[in-house]
């Protein structure tokens, strides 16, 4: 049994300030016993406009944000699922929204680039979002071996595409980490129900760090970072502002649920 934590922030346009806040919250989570810590989407920068992150983009493998993540994982001896940071894309006018995973020795062990981009108009408010203007989509799902179990990573808008998680379940996913920056409107309507659905239908733990609060760009994010067990039970939830939630990943419980309620073995239709 291992303790995990999901960190909640209300990130600003200042990378330096955001990294200081992330360091403080990771330290607190580690002190509380967490061995796996997940940061929210855009933890390192929430710009005034969507192109601000382009000014902070880093080459894969080097840069101040990546150096911070490696050093912090090693300092606190925790695995870090590092929300998303802007990495260089094939298109010079865009970035990859990349979630990096570091082990407790500070080694980078995996990278996931956000696949589904948030190009929508929110019906209730008319808010417009066009992530594809500044972000280049990834193509490949990620499931990796960790000391805590097989860990899958997805990001925010990915949550709405269940076929992605079926693919990850086929790869053995036992824990899903989904760093997010859900808007206040969409979060209030769909955040918890979608997270619990993914836990229930895939019989996996879900660790969901979210942005939560008011941002200098005028955006308000929903918060309610949470950890959910394979039966869909919310183990911990943090409503708004900066902080973290924590809970135990109990692989014996996961195995018991999957054995006694073998939904994944009863499937008759599969992703192609």
Per-residue pLDDT tens over the stretch 167-188 = 999 999 999 999 999 999 999 9
Contact predicate 31/5, CB 8 Å: no
pLDDT score of 271 more than 80? no
pLDDT for the residue numbered 272: 61
> Residue 265, class by beta-carbon neighbours within 10 Å (0-12 exposed, 13-18 middle, 19+ buried)?
exposed
pLDDT score of 134 more than 90? yes
Rg (CA), the chain: 17
Query: For tokens 């940061």, what's the residue?
Result: 39
Asked, for residue 38, whether it belongs to a domain, the answer is yes
Distance of CA 265 to the CA centre of its chain: 27
**Phi/psi of residue 240, nearest 5 degrees:** -150, 160
**Strand, helix or coil for residue 127:** coil
| Average pLDDT of the residues in 229-234 | 98
Asked, for residue 104, whether it belongs to a domain, the answer is yes
Q: The domain spanning residue 70 has which CATH number?
A: 3.60.110.10
Over residues 52-94, the pLDDT tens digits come to 999 999 999 999 999 999 999 999 999 999 999 999 999 999 9
**Strand, helix or coil for residue 89:** coil
pLDDT for the residue numbered 128: 86
The percent helix, strand, coil of the chain (3-state, each to 5) is 30, 30, 35
Asked, for residue 79, whether it belongs to a domain, the answer is yes
pLDDT for the residue numbered 89: 97
| Average pLDDT of the residues in 209-213 | 97
pTM passes above 0.95? yes
Range of the domain at 60: 2-266
pLDDT score of 146 more than 90? yes
Number of Cβ within 10 Å of residue 149's Cβ equals 19
pLDDT score of 130 more than 70? yes
pLDDT for the residue numbered 124: 74
- % of residues, the chain, pLDDT over 90: 91
Number of folded domains in the chain? 1
Question: Which alpha helices (H) appear in 83-183, and where do they start and end?
Answer: 162-170
| Average pLDDT of the residues in 42-46 | 97
Q: Over the range 249-262, which residues count as b (16 or more CB within 10 Å of their CB) and which as e?
A: bbeeebeebbeeee
Report the C-alpha gap between 156 and 116 in whole angstroms. 9
Asked, for residue 271, whether it belongs to a domain, the answer is no
Asked, for residue 272, whether it belongs to a domain, the answer is no
Which tokens belong to 135? Answer: 């972000």
Q: How confident is the model at residue 216 (pLDDT cuts 50, 70, 90)?
A: confident
Collect all residues with Cβ–Cβ distance below 8 Å to 222 and sequence separation of at least 6.
182, 183, 184, 186, 187, 188, 191, 210, 211, 212
pLDDT score of 15 more than 70? yes
- % of residues, the chain, pLDDT over 70: 99
Q: Which residues are known catalytic residues?
A: 41, 114, 156
Output the average pLDDT for the chain.
96
């Amino acid at each position: 049994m291992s303790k995990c934590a999901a960190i909640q922030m209300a990130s600003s346009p200042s990378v330096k300030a955001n990294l200081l806040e992330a360091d403080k919250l990771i330290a607190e989570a580690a002190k509380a016993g967490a061995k796996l810590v997940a940061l929210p989407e855009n933890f390192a920068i929430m710009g005034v406009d969507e192109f601000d992150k382009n000014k902070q983009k880093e080459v894969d493998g080097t840069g101040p944000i990546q150096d911070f993540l490696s050093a912090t994982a090693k300092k606190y001896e925790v695995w870090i699922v590092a929300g998303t940071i802007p990495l260089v894309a094939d298109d010079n006018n865009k970035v990859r929204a990349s979630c990096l995973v570091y082990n407790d020795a500070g080694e980078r062990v995996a990278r996931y680039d956000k696949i589904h981009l948030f190009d929508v108009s929110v019906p209730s408010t008319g808010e417009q979002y066009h992530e594809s203007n500044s972000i280049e989509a990834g193509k490949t799902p990620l499931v990796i071996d960790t000391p805590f179990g097989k860990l899958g990573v997805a990001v925010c808008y990915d949550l709405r595409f269940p076929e992605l998680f079926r693919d990850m379940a086929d790869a053995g996913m036992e824990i899903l980490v989904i760093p997010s920056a859900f808007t206040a409107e969409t979060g209030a309507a769909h955040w918890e129900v979608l997270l619990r659905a993914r836990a229930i239908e895939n019989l996996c733990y879900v660790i969901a760090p979210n942005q939560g609060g008011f941002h200098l760009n005028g955006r308000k994010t929903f918060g309610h970072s949470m950890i959910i067990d394979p039966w869909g039970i919310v183990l911990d939830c943090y409503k708004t502002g900066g902080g973290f939630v924590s809970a135990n990943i109990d692989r014996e419980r996961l195995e018991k649920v999957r054995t006694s309620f073998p939904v994944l073995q009863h499937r008759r239709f599969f992703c192609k």
